[in-house]
């Protein structure tokens, strides 16, 4: 997923969390199911996702994936080269 696409998806998720308290609570407790059920965003089964909420006294810094350090399986490489996935960039998949 390109940085622009990921930023846009993140913006959508954050805006929904701001406007929907139930979505936000569910997102914090079970992000994968909540994203799939509410926004049709699928996190691959072999990936984890953690949603954290900052506070005025506790901030988070997220270091992005360094693709030079990622080893892909042969199947992942085939899917990427076929355009099926790009580490989740296919349509609504992270």
User: What is the pLDDT at residue 64?
Assistant: 79
Mean pLDDT of the chain: 81
User: Range of 55's domain?
Assistant: 3-81
* Domain-located, residue 88: no
* Burial zone of 35 (CB within 10 Å; 0-12 exposed, 13-18 middle, 19+ buried): buried
Tell me the whole-structure pTM to 2 decimals: 0.70
**Residue 90 falls within a domain, yes or no?**
no
Whether residue 8 has pLDDT greater than 80? yes
Q: Does residue 33 sit within a domain?
A: yes
Number of independent structural domains in the chain: 1
Tens-digit pLDDT profile for residues 14-36: 999 999 999 999 999 999 999 99
In a domain, 93, yes or no: no
For residue 64, being part of any structural domain is answered with yes
Predicted confidence (pLDDT) per residue in 61-80, tens digit = 988 777 677 776 777 666 55
Which pLDDT band, with edges at 50, 70 and 90, does 1 fall under? low
For residue 30, being part of any structural domain is answered with yes
d(CA 41, CA 86): 15
Asked if residue 91 belongs to a domain, the reply is no
Residue 94 lies in a domain: no
Contacts 24+ apart (CB under 8 A), 78-85: 85/44
């Amino acid at each position: 997923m390109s940085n622009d696409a990921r930023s846009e998806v993140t913006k959508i998720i954050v805006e929904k969390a701001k406007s929907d308290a139930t979505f936000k609570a569910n997102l914090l407790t079970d992000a994968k199911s909540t994203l799939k059920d509410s926004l049709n965003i699928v996190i691959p089964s072999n990936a984890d996702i953690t949603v954290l909420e900052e506070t005025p006294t506790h901030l988070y810094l997220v270091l992005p994936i360094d693709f030079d350090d990622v080893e892909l399986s042969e199947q992942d490489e085939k899917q990427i080269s076929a355009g099926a996935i790009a580490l989740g960039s296919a349509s609504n998949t992270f």
